[in-house]
Amino acid sequence: MAERDEEAARDEFRHALEELPLEADDVLSYRQESLPGRAWQRLKRGEISAQEELDLHGLDARTAESLLREFLADAREHGLGCVRVIHGKGRGSDDVGSRGAPVLKNLVDRMLRQRSGVLAFHSAPRAQGGTGAVLVLLARRRS
């Protein structure tokens, strides 16, 4: 029964991806209200160093989804505070939806918003990947 629930949740998540509202140059941005404003500003400016990085370029959505879940779980397990996820902009690739919007960028945005351990995320500064990458601030793992 748990497996069926998990599969139903995945199907619902993938169905939501069909809307694909974000475009290649759109900024990804999310913040939990509990995050102090100073930390949020530092993240947006790229002043918090990413301790690990995941590059999803060229992957299909199903593989990228699985790798991102594992990456975030592993990062939290190892007590990392900030990570970078490179999703690309979706220009000139096969990884665009029926409306021409970048699939991986939209997948990353939706997944990060649903993860309880994600305090905030913001598109990286230009020197760190710009709108083709996102810096993710993670909550500390509870003992």
> For residue 93, what are the domain limits?
2-138
**Residue tagged 């993860």 (tokens):** 115
Reference 29, options 139, 135, 140; nearest CA is 135
Q: Is residue 83 part of a domain?
A: yes
Q: Is residue 73 part of a domain?
A: yes
Question: pTM for the full model?
Answer: 0.81
Q: Is residue 23 part of a domain?
A: yes
CATH number, domain with residue 97: 3.30.1370.110
pLDDT in tens, 15-61: 555 555 788 889 999 999 999 999 999 999 999 999 999 999 989 99
The total of structural domains in the chain comes to 1
Cβ atoms 96, 90 nearer than 8 A: yes
Q: Is residue 143 part of a domain?
A: no
CA dihedral 55, 92, 28, 130 (to 10 degrees): 70
106 pLDDT higher than 70:
yes
3-state secondary structure of 55: strand
